[in-house]
Amino acid sequence: MGRYEEILDAAGRLFSERGYHATSVREIARQLDLQGGSLYAHIDSKEEVLFQIVERAAHRFSEVVQNLPEGDARVRVCAFVRGHLRVIVEELPYATVFFHEWKFLSEPYKDRVRRLRDAYETALKELIEEGVREGVFRVEDPDLAAKFVLGALNWVYQWYRPGGRLGPEELARGFCPLVLGALGGGEG
């Protein structure tokens, strides 16, 4: 791992535990046994670090929708659920920062993140609409349904801990029928 990645990882942990505003550049440096000032050889600002973390998380999430398998909308939605949960579980600090701390970015960073988030939500909404057209889902309001599903998935960052009762695969297996049911595409 390069120095820059180490900085992002240390900052991601601190931002996710304490929040962006409550973390100083000095504390990030201390995690890496650096002097506060010497961190500026690697970064321009604390905000740049926040943006890089948020953008990396956004990139991981966007890979999920770019790599959905062929198949009917149920297969694709379950692959989405599995992929989305995997990013949260594997990148828990980054995902936490992505969900919470992005709002502390200033423009134009913030606008860029807002667009990434909107595009991702739109991709799920279109997947739901696809299922409605295919006749496998029954959904009144695909926009609201997309927000509902994303909320249910995203909230996992609040309670998921590695080594808990459910691993990432069990979690995806448990969530897939709940999501399909919500979209009117469950069994029975």
Residue 30 or residue 114: which is nearer to its own copies going by CB?
114
Task: State the CB neighbour count (10 A cutoff) for residue 104.
Answer: 17
- How far apart (Å, rounded) are the C-alpha atoms in residues 96 and 94? 5
Render 70-107 in DSSP notation, one character per residue.
SS-HHHHHHHHHHHHHHHHHHTHHHHHHHHHGGGGPPT
Can you tell me which of 144, 164, 167, 169 binds its own copies, judged by CB under 8 A? 144
Least separation in angstroms between CB 41 and its own copies: 27
In the window 1-40, what residues touch its own copies (CB under 8 A)? 18-22
The tokens describing 133, both together, are 């057209």
Residue 40 or residue 155: which is nearer to its own copies going by CB?
155
Asked if residues 28 and 7 have their Cβ atoms less than 8 Å apart, the reply is yes
Least separation in angstroms between CB 70 and its own copies: 25
**Positions that interact with its own copies (CB under 8 A):** 18-22, 99-100, 138, 140-141, 144-145, 147-156, 158-159, 166, 171, 174-175, 177-179, 181-184, 186, 188
